[in-house]
Chain A
Amino acid sequence: MRSIRETPDRTSPPRVVCAAVILALGPIGPVACGPRVAPPIAAEHGDDTPPRHGGTVRLAEIGDARNLDPAGPVDGVSLPPVHLMFAGLVDFDDHAAIAPDLAESWAVTEEGRAYRFVLKPGVSMHDGQELTAEDVKRSVERALHPSAPNPTASMFEGLVGFDAFVEDRADHIEGVEVEGRYVIGFRLKEPDAAFLPLLAMTTLRPVCRNGGWRYSDDWLPCGAGPFKLPPGGWQRGTSLHLVRHEAYFRPGLPYLDGVEWTFNMQALAQRFRFEAGDLDLVRSLSQADQRRFSADPRWSPYGGTDADTNVYGESMNTRTPPFDNIEIRRAVASAINREHYRLLKPAYLTVLTQLVPADIPGYDPSVRGQHYDYDAALEHMRKAGYPYDPRTGHGGWPHSIDYPLYDQGLLVFTAQLLQQDLAKIGLHIELRLVSWQAFLALQARPYGAPISQGSWDMDYPDPSSFFDPLFTTRAIDPEGGHNIAFYSNPHLDDVVAEARRESHEDRRRALYARAAAIVCDEAPWAFAYSHHWYRLRQPYVRGDTPHPIWHVDVTTTWLDRAGRSLEQVLGEGLRR
């Protein structure tokens, strides 16, 4: 057995001395005390050791989980626990491809209008009941019923009978049919190639019978996932403790006894707890700490990045001058130096030149996209009728343009970069700091914000999750539509609709490549970057691979941690 502390930290002064120095010098004390990145806590066995059962993995989040019911609003914090508690008919594998989960097989018929799933028999839910097709139907209707606070219900409007059900004209959704004890069928109004990814998300995942046919705020979440919520396991606003579902349908899994999240924990506190061995994996390190750990050879093998699943860019209101002029939009798309954006947070940002991020299935590297080209930007300004001479500073758009932004670290800096880049082509933007809510309200108004930062995170891993809500004509809606560029192009609408119906993978990819080319050329957005998280684990956390969709999926994670060092035990004892 190896020692717990693989390499004792001999470079740092004793803790008491450091404490005294910090008290004397205040916040600059840590600097005087030297770089104090604690050493990793080594695994007990070598890399070839088979997985072991037991232990609880401890995680933390800066935010709070608001809801753990798949029929409610599932945000970024609650997504991993909801995924671990509720198994779906299908799921995503480590490459975001569709994989069977509760369904052992499925068939797509009627040219993509009908999906028929055969459930694995003998699947035990957390309450001990066996999962049947009736449970699936009940869970679907529970999630889509108007009484549920489900913000994604309308994504399933393609189901036959959805409208009648939502408008309370029918008690059940006609297009969800129980065809046998273990067979469930879904019928769609028209073919939808995105139906499987949509189904693989958490919204329609089966819930236990005590969840009933209708949503209730008081229900104790209960599903068929690898971990279950014990009574009192969720201390709202504070912590969440899930325990192993002993009767999970995948034999031998999960390895862990439990998973524990602590919420609302600041980044610095996460770092300190992680170093002390009180957290096993962190995803919210500050940029300074990320650099510190990445640069440390003891830690670098245990760090990595999550997938890019979002898009950030400059959204230009196509109804408002000067961005109603396509050449001006093209000029902006060419004038932005995306590499400068990336350098603001190099470990967290990836340059994005097209709409779909690289880690989303359907991303097409052959799409040329938007690129920085200063000469081209000047040429577009000339074609727009507003030539700009960079030597004299004459020309360009004669008015200043409002750019609303809210006080969020990165946005404040990207806005200044944008201001500088656009000034070089004769577009002068004026930054206007507003609250987050005011920012959203301005973006939603047809003439509210001429240009502002647009951002979008995938709802499900498919190009349709980006094109449909952001750039189609039907997504223009003053009551909260997401086409904040108010961009409308019937040709693009047709291509995107056709791609959504197309089940043949190559033809679908070609259609989305055409859509991407249109959007990049007409530039309702100047795409800029996507954001991902840096994650760091202790060496004794095994089997942890960043999941492209769920980010934290500990179904196959196991702990190989030996007894704790005297220092840690004493430290913990004192802390308690």
Chain B
Amino acid sequence: MKVARRLGTALFVVCAVVSLAFAVEELLPGDPARMAAGVQARPADLAHVREQLGLDRPPLERYAIFWERLVHLAPQHSVPAPEHESCAVVLAFAHRELHVNLGKSFQRRQPVVDLLVARVPRTAALAVAGLSVQLLLGITFGTLAAVRRGSRIDRLLTGASVLGVSTPTFIVAFVFQLVFARELRWLPLDGYGVTWTDHARSLVLPALTLGIYGAAFYTRLVRDDMIALLESDWVRTARAKGLPAWRVVVVHALRNALALVATAVALDFGALMGGAVVTETVFRWPGLGELSLHATLDRDGPVVCGCLLVTSIAVVLANVVVDLSYPRIDPRARG
């Protein structure tokens, strides 16, 4: 019941976000048809493109069409009918198909679903890799700084984390490109590559770039929380019982600190699934961030709505997962 309630809320949030995006697209000044046709298109051609894109229809009608076609049933055909050419088949049963249709991109003239299907896995890979670096470094350094509180290591790690948090991502990206791609030639400068090996090698620098920024944040977060936890009664009791120092730190203190980390991870993961715009652009990583950036600048409404749909789903799902896993992390939450 609790799960169903949370999923229901999540669905409402997703619908609200996409509706808001639709409204904002309508309210912003500018003409999407002009962006699609090119700024030098003549009025007659512009009117023509506007009609082709359906932008000559009233906004409410387009909004209704958006929801109507988003998830619908269609008869099964070996060759899709023209009205279903931008649909993705999610499920086939009894001569019927369940379709998802986000329309066609104004700019690229490709089904938005196809664009998202190609890009979501890349962004997910970058998000997971970046987040892994963040957590690995952040938790390790944060714990170390807390355990050695006031020492040189603590001061060094705290200083480094301030530097990491305050350095813009593009500067970190630039330095990594210079060092590892241009000078040492160990890794690709940018791009995505063709083979799986290419993809993996191309992922390293953007993941490290994202990782450095986040690691600095998590270092501070874990350090501060761990300092408080290491002074708590139950940790003192654990020490008094003669437990090994590592067990006191890892099992009794760090495990409790993870609840806070999990909350932050859920938010971070959702944000990263929206695409790390700067990192993806600098490293030419063809993910959602790069797609949504261009779509926003080009007033490509269907793509903007599609990207937001994916992002909002990622955010709410990550939060639902974390909510549901709290009791496992922190026994106090079971009640």
Contact = CB atoms under 8 A, between A and B. Distances in A.
B41 A437 contact: no
A217 B183 contact: no
A19 B179 contact: yes
B311 interface: no
Interface in B3-47: 28-31, 34-47
Interface stretch (B186-194, B221-229, B239-247): B186-194
A442 B30 CA distance: 9
Interface stretch (A115-123, A268-276, A289-297, A529-537): A268-276
B183 A73 contact: no
B284 interface: yes
Interface string A414-444: 0000000000000000000001111011100
A565 interface: no
Contact of B49 (A149, A264, A276, A574): A149
Nearest to A438: B29
Given A66-B107, A149-B52, A479-B47, A27 B29 contact: no
Interface stretch (A101-109, A151-159, A393-401, A501-509): A151-159
A26 interface: yes
A484 to B, nearest CB: 11
Given A27-B174, A575-B185, A480 B42 contact: yes
Contacts of A576: 197-198, 201
B109 interface: yes
A317 interface: no
Contacts of A480: 31, 34, 41-43, 46
Given A236-B108, A480-B31, A576-B198, A265 B45 contact: no
Contact of B45 (A153, A217, A571): A153
B181 to A, nearest CB: 7
A139 interface: no
Contacts of B180: 19
A177 interface: no
B30 A435 contact: yes
Contacts of A276: 182, 185
A29 B178 contact: yes
A150 interface: yes
Given A64-B294, A238-B286, A149 B42 contact: no
B281 interface: yes
Interface residues of A, number: 60
Contact of A575 (B188, B192, B299): B188
A538 B185 CA distance: 20
Contact of B171 (A26, A153, A269, A479): A26
A245 interface: no
A236 B179 CA distance: 29
A457 B174 CA distance: 33
B101 to A, nearest CB: 15
B290 A16 contact: no
Contacts of B192: 238
Nearest to A468: B42
Contacts of A27: 171, 174-175
B275 to A, nearest CB: 13
B177 interface: yes
A23 B41 contact: no
Given A73-B37, A480-B41, A265 B190 contact: yes
B190 A149 contact: no
Interface string B180-223: 11111111111110000110010000000000000000000000
A151 B45 contact: yes
Contacts of A440: 30-31, 34, 39
13 contacts: A16-B183, A19-B183, A27-B174, A72-B109, A151-B41, A151-B46, A151-B49, A238-B192, A272-B177, A437-B35, A480-B42, A480-B46, A576-B201
Given A22-B179, A151-B49, A236-B110, 4 more contacts: A18-B183, A153-B45, A437-B299, A457-B40
10 tightest A-B CB contacts, nearest first? A437-B30, A151-B41, A151-B37, A19-B183, A571-B185, A154-B44, A441-B29, A438-B29, A477-B43, A480-B46
